[in-house]
Structure formats: C-alpha cells, structure tokens
Amino acid sequence: MDLYAFCGSDLYTRIPRLLDSVRGAGDCRVTRERSKFVESHYLPASLPEIDLKVMRWATVDAILAAPPNLDELYLEKMHSLHHYQVMIDESGDGLSRVDRAVRRRSEDLATLLPHAFESYVKHAWGVAKQGLLRGESLIGSQLARRALDYLVLIEYMLNDAYPPPFKWRMHDSELTKLPRADLIRSVATALEFTDGVTLPERAERLRDLEGAMLADASASGILGRPTDSWWWKP
C-alpha cells in the first residue's frame, strides 16, 4: 500500500527525524531521502506492507507547472495525480491540485500524442534501416523493443489516459483496460520472450500493432501518420 503525505517546506525538513519517531506503524525497514520525497517502508503486524512517502507541495506545483513531456518521472507523477484517493485534506490543497491535473488531461494528451508517435517513428525507421537494410540484427531488435514502448504509450493516450508507471504499464491490472491489450501482449511476447523470431518477423508484428492503432478514429489527428502504406518499410 502506497501512502502519500504532503506538507510545506518547513515541516519537510523535519520529516526524516519525525518518521524515525513513529510508533505503532510496524517494523520500519527503510527510510531514505530521494530527490523529490522522503520514503519509509513499514511492515505492520496485521496490515499489508506500507510505503509512506512525504513530498512538498512545491514539488507537486512544479509538476503541474511543467509543460507536458514524455519523461518517465513526469508521466508517473501525472498518472498518480489522476489516481490519488484523498483520505484527509485539512486545507483543501490536495483536492484542488488533483482537480487541476484532471482538467488539463485532455489538452496534455493531445500535445503528447504527436511527440510519442514521432519517437515511435524514429525507432521504427531504425528497425528498417539499421536492422533490415544494414543487417545489424542486434541493434534492430533493441530498436524494435523501444518502438513497442512508444506504441504502448500511444495506446494509453488514445484511450484518454496517462500511461501508468513503467513497471505497471504491461501488468494485467492496467493493460486489460485497453482495447488492444491482447495484441500488445502478443507482440511483446514475440519481441521479448520467443526464441527463433527473426527481425523481419519482429518488424511485421510492430506493423500489425501500428496498423491497428492508426485505424482507431482517435488517431486521426496524429501528425505524420501514414495514409496508405508504411513509410518506413524498406
């Protein structure tokens, strides 16, 4: 269970010492200071494991003020803001920030979608050029995996959702919410775990997934999308 607490800068400077003094929360295994928050990991006697993370309001404001981008930390924080269940909000600051994140979602995703597609195109062209035309199969395979990552991002965005954190993005709890979950899972299995799959076959699986996504009516506004054939096909 992840619990987040937010506070002002004055209190934040005292958080490590305060966490050390917490009693009755179970065995505290780890307390660590990270770049954006302080985290303590507890093992209560009769509850699930708890990760308590304390963050400054200024950090949340910086995230909300940043222009939309494909950085993994940005995507993770924006996804979190859309899924927080506020338990206690003494000043109303939490609910107001969650509301700001929700209100900007559609506009942000519309901005991010062409960038994600451009990044996909760059890697897909690398599969064709480096991998297939130049015979560099190792590089082509690596680029195919990266290309798939961007297609997964695009699938979440086409369905009006911020992509979940990377470690959960392909988990059934998140992936099954998507209409092309089975196809994504099949392509990922072929690219990552199936022995004997050739690079041309990997490219063909990417082609199938891209074609299915671009047939979606929501994808009509993606800049640079091909109309009648794969522009990157060698």
Greater model confidence, 135 or 34: 135
Residue with tokens 């680029």: 143
Every domain of the chain and the residues it spans? 1-64, 105-221
pLDDT given at position 141: 93
The whole-angstrom separation of Cα 20 and Cα 73 is 27
User: Could you tell me the sign of the dihedral formed by the alpha carbons of 176, 178, 179, 183, in that order?
Assistant: negative
Beta bridge mates, 50: 42
The type of residue at 52 is: L
Q: What confidence score (pLDDT) does residue 223 get?
A: 66
So what's the pLDDT on residue 57?
A: 87
Task: Write down the pLDDT at residue 23.
Answer: 55
CB of 141 closer than 8 Å to CB of 131: yes
**pLDDT for res 158:** 93
| d(C-alpha 142, C-alpha 206), whole Å | 13
Cβ-based burial of 67 (10 A; exposed 0-12, middle 13-18, buried ≥19): exposed
DSSP state of 179: T
Give the model's confidence band at 176: pLDDT under 50 very low, under 70 low, under 90 confident, else very high. Answer: very high
Mean pLDDT of the chain: 84
Report the length, in residues, of the chain: 234
Task: Indicate the fold that domain 105-221 takes in CATH.
Answer: Four Helix Bundle (Hemerythrin (Met), subunit A) (1.20.120)
Which pLDDT tens digit goes with each residue over 90-135? 877 888 888 999 999 999 999 999 999 999 989 998 998 899 889 9
For residue 7, the SS3 value is strand
Single-letter amino acid, residue 120:
Y
Partners of 41 in beta bridges: 30, 51
